[in-house]
Structure 1
Amino acid sequence: MKQRFAKTGIIRSFGAAEVVTGSCHLYQIDHGPTILIDCGMFQGTVEERNYEPFGFNPRHVDILLVTHAHLDHVGRIPKLVREGFRGRIITLKSTMDLAEVVLLDSAKLMEEEYHTRFKKAQRRGAEASVRKPLYTTDDVAAVYDLPMTFVRYNKPVEIAKGVVATFRDAGHILDSATIELDVTTKEGSEKLVFSGDLGNHNDMVMPDPVTVKEADILYIESTYGDRDHKGIEESVAEFKDVIINTLLNRGNVLIPSFAIERTQEILCLLKQMYDSKELPECQIFIDSPMAIRATRLYDAYHEELSEECNEYLKRDGTIFDFPYVRYTPDVEDSKKINDIDSGCIIIAGSGMCTGGRILHHFKHRLWNERNALLFVGYQAEGTLGRRIINGERHIRIYHEEILIRASIHTINGFSAHADQSGLIEWMKSFDRLGKIFLIHGEYDKQKVLRKVIGEKMGKRAHIVAPEEKIYV
């Protein structure tokens, strides 16, 4: 989809184009600033792309807008800074607070992996073959030395001459945003909307995504563009069945969970079960330092959460805590969980099983048929989580072959992403909607959504190709 001239400028997507992860969209405004929307990390089968050049000069970027703090939206910001970005970051304060947790965790994992590989390479005399980390904790600190402007929802802010940004609540995670840009140049004016990741309705922690009224250009995510989620009631019932049956069977439940939003939602659901006396006596371990820090931030920014969360806060003085919950930030505390034979619910990262403490629990628990592995989040192509869901039963963890005998359960109704119907309904809520561009989705799923948009909305949608020039 190409015009003969650009009214306001050119957008190119250097990530999250025909793939889900690596969100990174460069908007070059004619005779105006160059704006980058997100700078996220690639995950799964495309993670090698993190080490490739950006495709643009970071020194030429004037403004970085951040929709939310998930790794696939913020994970390459330290690399951007290390390679020369000195512009202004504009987002909500809580987003940068959460991003600091995410980025420090990412940097520490990469540094630890580098040092481990370097030691092994030294013994072979092959130090030069070990690739250095994408960035370090010092690079993360450098991000927070840059100038930042913190915005509030629904408050228009002039971010440059002729450019006004308005952040709307996307309902995806804490202070996630849909970003509206009202841009005026000599050639004319346009309203551009970047959906960010849109939340799912009926989320226990987050409010519903805010509707937007007008857009000449819409860049919209399409992660679940090919299907609808299970109903929330059905998902909750299935979740409860797995938890109750496994615990009563003297087993343990392993939940690989994203530290941000999903862990908090699962805690809320377990608290509901505790209140209603449905939850058998057990020990619930939040075995993720990042999830623990994120949960504390959710408490701190509680006014942005659902009414239900704030009712818990009024009643208990805490949103997520109840007697069965145990937090294990230290490695030694995490190791002690292995000594408990039964009656545990272990919530640990990483959410896609690509690293983190969940792998240690897999090693100690997956071979036991009394246990259950419960997936409650998206598993990208190429990740261990996706391979297990696809039926792989022999996996290798820390140089040891593990036979999976535990029962495997996938519940996608808890997704923090809108499903196909949610995306369509959100777009239908516009009073005026111009051109639609699909990003942040696997290509086969985007083709399905493109067809449905044509059938249900009578509009054409364009699937954005990597680095394609879109004249807007």
Structure 2
Amino acid sequence: MTLTFWGAAQTVTGSLHFLELDDAGPGGRPTRLFLDCGLFQGRRSESRARNQDWPCEPSTVDAVLLSHAHIDHAGLLPKLYRDGFRGTVYATHATVDLCGLMLRDSAYIQEKDAEFFNRKIRDKGEPEVEPLYDMADAEGVMGLFHGVPYDRTFQVPGGVDVVYRDAGHILGSASMTLDLPGGKRLGFTGDLGNPGRPILRDPTPMPPVDWLICESTYGGKTHEPADLTKDRLAAIVTETAARGGRVVIPAFAVGRTQEIVHTLDQLWNADRLPAIPVFVDSPLAVNATAVFQTHPECYDADLLAYLMTDPSPFGFERLEYVREAKRSKELNGLRVPFVVISASGMCEAGRILHHLRNTIEDDKNTVLIVGYQAEHTLGRRIVERRDEVKIFGRPHKLRARVEVMNTFSAHADEPGLVDFVGAIDRDRLKTVFLVHGDPDRQALLIDAFAEAGLTADVEAPARGDAVTL
């Protein structure tokens, strides 16, 4: 069996790992499985090239095992379908529902992005580009999804038995184990959640495995204590409102937005927020919140108990969910303090760009960053507090205050990763393959594993590296 690391290898986005068995599968060729099929996000030219390239012919892929619905893990599925894939996509039931929203939303963005780019180059006589995929591709691949529950064995092509376990990252997220021919077992963490976060259960421990593909986003990082989250968020909102400013929060539409809203809901119920409007300005986030409300099987015990006193954990008196573009534009004309939560989380697309354009040049305002910002994104440039950033191709002075809260992170920090991997049977674990992390973070995590006494080999494969299992 061969495992090839194709995406999220020494980088964070574009998760895709390619497993080829030694059997004679359909048509006499080996069975081929993808673990995740995510969109690479970064500079336009690099992203375009990366997202066009596959480790094998898409029509020969038998199945995709999907860890969760985030676009950097699932966002290339419509492209895979466009290029000939007709196998099965296995995912938890909540992930199926979220992908139904997110892949269609991504297709819309791909179409609009291509239109915008073609308008810019039309007068230059350059050839126009096609969208990476379109709505028909998103609709087509959704017809290939098969929902499975947590903690039950299901079989995929090649006779591989798979179990999904709660990863605690976003709604429906899963780690997985694959029982391979010959009695060997491969584990994949997907994206591991941060224990103790609200709404979702903590990550389920992984059983003994021979090899582990492990995320490494926050190697070398320790998150702030979670019990400081409410205090700091309340302080940021209160202080900004007192200055007469706005708080603009770029947030992933799925997971991060719901966690922030729930935290604000708790603060409101405790009378710890000023009486200012709060807006969730993202149609995708609005729809995703509705999906959250249909999957209480994913809630942790604290949220289930909270529901006994507040049946609406994602809504309170001053909160408004914004769907229509007309209403979104009206927010920019408000002359009162307010909070707006909008997508995309890395500030690369969506309505957040309009809010930033109308906010960042005024020092009364605050931009609150609550998630990871990949290299070469607008969000990263804001976190780095550049003097000037470009929005819609035009320079803007960054005068607004920039606050960063990593307590909202949906990823385990270094101590969390060390604890998770350290709890796996050390006598059986041969090799840990680090993915979904920048090289400097991976180097720090390798050192941390060594200090914790992990005896397995730890490697950080590059794109295209292949190992024989």
What's 1:21 paired with? 13
How many correspondences in the alignment? 458
Partner Cα distance (1:463, 1:120) in 2? 40
Partner of 1:443: 439
Partner residue of 2:331 out of 330, 337, 342: 337
Instruction: Kindly state the Cα deviation for residue 276 of structure 1 after the two structures are TM-superposed.
Output: 0.7
**1:288-329 Cα deviation digits (max 9, x unpaired):** 111111111001112211223333434343220111110111
Task: Summarize the alignment of residues 212-291 of structure 1 with structure 2, pairs less than 5 Å apart.
Answer: 212-291=206-285
1:171-210 aligned within 5 A: 171-184=168-181, 188-210=182-204
Gaps of 5+ in 1: 1-8
Matches within 5 A, 1:157-176: 157-176=154-173
Contact 1:299 1:319 in 2 (8 A): no
User: Are residue 88 (structure 1) and residue 85 (structure 2) matched?
Assistant: no
| 2:335 counterpart SS class | coil
What secondary structure is seen at the aligned counterpart in 2 of 1:300? coil
The CA distance in 1 between the partners of 2:412 and 2:425, in whole Å, is 20
Return the offset for 1:197.
Answer: 0.2
Of the structure 1 ranges 317-326 and 192-201, higher mean CA displacement relative to structure 2 is found in 317-326
Counterpart residue identity of residue 80, structure 1: L
State the TM-score, normalizing by the size of structure 2. 0.94
1:372 maps to what in 2? 366
Alignment of structure 1 residues 125-144 onto 2, 5 Å: 126=125, 128-144=126-142
Q: Do 1:171 and 1:177's aligned partners in 2 also have CA atoms closer than 8 Å?
A: yes
Q: Give me the whole-angstrom Cα distance separating, in 2, the residues matched to 1:386 and 1:316.
A: 36
The TM-score with structure 1 as length reference comes to: 0.94
| Contact 1:228–1:419, Cα closer than 8 Å, also in 2 | yes
* Aligned-partner residue type, residue 170 of structure 1: A
Alignment of 1:423-462 (within 5 A): 423-432=417-426, 433-459=429-455, 460-462=457-459
SS of 2:210's partner is strand
1:116 and 2:112 are equivalent in the alignment: no
Aligned to 1:4: none
Deviation of 1:78 (Å): 0.6
1:27 is displaced (CA, Å) by: 0.4
Matched, 1:295 2:295: no
Give distance in 1, aligned partners of 2:157 and 2:140: 24
Residue 457 and residue 48 in structure 1: after superposition, are their counterparts in 2 closer, same or farther (change >3 A)? farther
- For residues 333-387 of structure 1, the C-alpha deviation after alignment (integer angstroms, 9 at most, x for no partner) is 1011012122210000110011111111111111111111100000001101111
Distance 1:48 1:445 in 2: 25
| Contact 2:94–2:295 (CA under 8 A) maintained in structure 1 | yes
Partners of 2:66 and 2:332 in 1: how far apart? 39
**Offset at residue 80 of structure 1 (A):** 0.6
Contact 2:18 2:55 in 1 (8 A): no
Write the deviation string for residues 125-154 of structure 1: whole angstroms up to 9, x where unpaired.
62x5222110001110110232x3321111
Structure 2 equivalent of residue 78 of structure 1? 78
* Percent of aligned pairs with the same amino acid: 36
Runs of at least 5 residues in structure 2 that lack an aligned partner in the other structure? 26-30
Task: Give the Cα separation in 2 of the matches to 1:220 and 1:399.
Answer: 37
Q: Secondary structure at the match of 1:315?
A: coil
- Give the CA deviation at 1:399: 4.3
Which residue number in structure 2 is paired with residue 5 of structure 1?
none
Note the C-alpha offset of 1:92: 1.1
- Which residue number in structure 2 is paired with residue 149 of structure 1? 146
TM-fit CA distance, 1:51: 3.8
For 1:348, the equivalent position in structure 2 comes to: 342
Counterparts of 2:191 and 2:51, CA distance in 1: 24
SS of structure 1 residue aligned to 2:309: helix
User: Which residue pairs with 1:3 in the alignment?
Assistant: none
